[in-house]
A and B are shown apart, each in its own frame.
Chain A
């Protein structure tokens, strides 16, 4: 049981080291990754969101796109 508890402790330490120490350092070396994170902050986005209802910006996007499609189809019908 002690060995298993030590295994759990080692995993927790390993995960902490990977996410709290290593990953931020890797991120600091990657301009793309930093720019990507800044984009998420600017738009209030969240990469882990599962479904469109978890992404608030989808509502506004849908509204703008629907208006554009309406106008576009009007032009398309006029041309055809």
Chain B
């Protein structure tokens, strides 16, 4: 079947210096960079104090580590170190509070926007009673642990029996501490999101309007349209934060598409609103912000077995599925093929977004791909743990299998937890490593499209031409990823956790979420149901997904078994 290239735009324009302030790709980079620099500067303002405190706790832990048992003081220093977080620096905390989405709610949607002290006290009453009980148990366990440790210390830690008794008592205290902490997380605080949502909307409106003006949009009309799109986004977030929706995987991004499409395909998207439905502008900005979460040092989290499961199997499945789609299924759209292949093999929605933007896929293709991913994730997140239990697979193997095959990161953690706590840890870590693959995937897809796909038959493409065609936001995305990865590497794992994982990420993650939700509302507002239906023709996307995922399931299980049980059983034994 011949591919219809009439709708493929092959950019033959020359790059100019004015592109830096006139092109959307570059404005996505400038906006993303600006927001990340603000986050980094604010977090860095607290760095000296955090470093000094961390050094103190590390010294305390090192001193305690000289003793033959892990003492109460060691655990207390460790816990205090864990509480050091960049997000608690004053200005950072203020900024994060302004970025918050509507809260979770059960039956009253207004609970998503406002909750007063009276209602909070009413909801907290049963939880507080449980927390108080667990606190008392923790205090008692600490008393027992202290007595046991003092006895071991009095014998200069030379009595094995006393050391063992102290270790057991201290572990029991830690278990009681964990139970109390987990219960306390469920306590709510009063909040009012209305003012912060208004401020956020206006701030994002002003920032995006600056870029929109240079891109060539009319600033006044864009700003008003942006406010309309933003309000729909807030509604999508309210729907996505309903407790059952969250459990079923129907997040704000999915509701954004649904709301947008509902409006567009019934009453129709008003003309004034279309001005603000700038899909690519929002998606590319969101992707540049995502770069700050794509940290290459995470690759080594689960060692060589994890790298093989996440970074060897995944490209094999991606490329094989794409070739299968082209040669066997003869998919009419290459871009749909690669987006579905990336979505299924890498890590679901975020991979689909990055790949679609890199190859300039149509928004209907992205929507279709997300729909497929969501549907099969809903099936696999329940079916795969059931299969693991039915087959009697070991927990670690089950976790690795889930991590390498289930699309959505949230569903991976939940499905892993369903198998067991170790499976959850392995699954979540493997999926985290796969998440890091997004940047590389986007880069190579963009490169392949610029050099092989968007060319006429027999045409040779020069390096300059590749540069002209290459989607520049991918460079911004990768640059952010590399900068943050290098920064994490240079500051050491402790400070990277404090300043990046629990610092700048707490700013970039919600911002990224808002931009993706804005993009999805925009996609919905400009998508026609009938257009979407065309891409389902012959059921080829579904066949592609099913065949690719089947191959993924077999290869991931095989690789996980080989790496975790044959090559590195010592790692598995310690997990």
Interface centre among B247, B290, B385 (most CB of A within 10 A): B247
Contact flag A58-B382 (CB < 8 Å), given A23-B248, A53-B293, A72-B568: no
> Do the beta carbons of A35 and B267 come within 8 Å of each other?
no
> Do the beta carbons of A50 and B516 come within 8 Å of each other?
yes
How far apart are the CA atoms of A11 and B574 in the complex, in Å?
A: 53
How far apart are the CA atoms of A1 and B425 in the complex, in Å?
A: 53
Contact flag A61-B429 (CB < 8 Å), given A36-B418, A43-B417, A69-B303: yes
Contact flag A52-B409 (CB < 8 Å), given A33-B382, A72-B571, A75-B570: yes
> Do the beta carbons of B435 and A51 come within 8 Å of each other?
yes
In the complex, B575 has a CB within 8 A of chain A: yes
In the complex, B410 has a CB within 8 A of chain A: yes
> Do the beta carbons of B302 and A48 come within 8 Å of each other?
no
Query: Of residues 442 to 474 in B, which have CB atoms within 8 Å of A's CB atoms?
Result: none
Report which of A47, A59, A69 forms a contact with B414, defined as CB distance below 8 A. Answer: A47
In the complex, A49 has a CB within 8 A of chain B: yes
Given the complex, which residues of A lie within 8 Å of B505, measured CB to CB? 53
Query: Of residues 21 to 73 in A, which have CB atoms within 8 Å of B's CB atoms?
Result: 23-24, 32-33, 35-37, 39-55, 57-62, 64-69, 71-73
Report which of A32, A35, A40, A49 forms a contact with B409, defined as CB distance below 8 A. Answer: A49
How many A-B contacts if CB must be within 8 Å?
185
In the complex, B111 has a CB within 8 A of chain A: no
> Do the beta carbons of A52 and B435 come within 8 Å of each other?
yes
> Do the beta carbons of B262 and A8 come within 8 Å of each other?
yes
Given the complex, which residues of A lie within 8 Å of B410, measured CB to CB? 45-50, 54-55
> Do the beta carbons of B409 and A4 come within 8 Å of each other?
no
> Do the beta carbons of B409 and A55 come within 8 Å of each other?
yes
> Do the beta carbons of B254 and A48 come within 8 Å of each other?
yes
> Do the beta carbons of A47 and B350 come within 8 Å of each other?
no
In the complex, B509 has a CB within 8 A of chain A: yes
Query: Of residues 227 to 253 in B, which have CB atoms within 8 Å of A's CB atoms?
Result: 240, 244-253
In the complex, B440 has a CB within 8 A of chain A: no
> Do the beta carbons of A59 and B501 come within 8 Å of each other?
yes
Minimal Cβ-Cβ distance residue in A for B268: A4
Minimal Cβ-Cβ distance residue in B for A64: B425
How far apart are the CA atoms of A77 and B347 in the complex, in Å?
A: 32
In the complex, B530 has a CB within 8 A of chain A: no
Report which of A40, A42, A65 forms a contact with B575, defined as CB distance below 8 A. Answer: A65
How far apart are the CA atoms of A57 and B262 in the complex, in Å?
A: 35
**Least Cβ–Cβ distance between A26 and chain B, in angstroms:** 11
In the complex, B381 has a CB within 8 A of chain A: yes
Given the complex, which residues of B lie within 8 Å of A65, measured CB to CB? 301-302, 425-426, 429, 575
- Contact mask for chain B residues 370-387; partner A; CB cutoff 8 A; 1 contact, 0 none: 000000010001100110
Given the complex, which residues of A lie within 8 Å of B540, measured CB to CB? none
In the complex, B31 has a CB within 8 A of chain A: no
Contact flag A51-B293 (CB < 8 Å), given A39-B417, A76-B570: yes
Query: Of residues 400 to 453 in B, which have CB atoms within 8 Å of A's CB atoms?
Result: 408-411, 413-415, 417-418, 424-426, 428-429, 431-432, 435
How far apart are the CA atoms of A24 and B251 in the complex, in Å?
A: 17
How far apart are the CA atoms of A44 and B185 in the complex, in Å?
A: 9
Given the complex, which residues of A lie within 8 Å of B429, measured CB to CB? 58, 61-62, 65
Contact flag A71-B411 (CB < 8 Å), given A61-B424, A65-B301: no
How far apart are the CA atoms of A58 and B568 in the complex, in Å?
A: 22
**Least Cβ–Cβ distance between A51 and chain B, in angstroms:** 5
> Do the beta carbons of A66 and B408 come within 8 Å of each other?
no
> Do the beta carbons of A45 and B253 come within 8 Å of each other?
no
> Do the beta carbons of B414 and A40 come within 8 Å of each other?
yes
Given the complex, which residues of B lie within 8 Å of A45, measured CB to CB? 410, 413-414, 417
> Do the beta carbons of B424 and A57 come within 8 Å of each other?
yes
Given the complex, which residues of B lie within 8 Å of A68, measured CB to CB? 571, 574-575
How far apart are the CA atoms of A69 and B304 in the complex, in Å?
A: 9
> Do the beta carbons of A8 and B263 come within 8 Å of each other?
yes
**Least Cβ–Cβ distance between A68 and chain B, in angstroms:** 4
How far apart are the CA atoms of A5 and B245 in the complex, in Å?
A: 26
- Going nearest first, the 9 A-B pairs with the smallest beta carbon separation are A49-B410, A48-B251, A72-B571, A47-B249, A8-B266, A52-B432, A61-B425, A75-B570, A69-B303
12 contacts between A and B (CB under 8 A): A19-B250, A39-B414, A40-B414, A47-B411, A48-B245, A54-B509, A58-B428, A61-B428, A62-B429, A69-B302, A72-B573, A75-B574
A residues bordering B, Cβ < 8 Å?
Answer: 1, 4-5, 7-8, 11-12, 15, 19, 23-24, 32-33, 35-37, 39-55, 57-62, 64-69, 71-73, 75-76, 79
Given contacts A7-B266, A23-B244, 10 further A-B pairs with CB under 8 A are: A4-B267, A42-B417, A46-B247, A46-B251, A50-B253, A54-B409, A60-B425, A65-B302, A69-B571, A73-B570
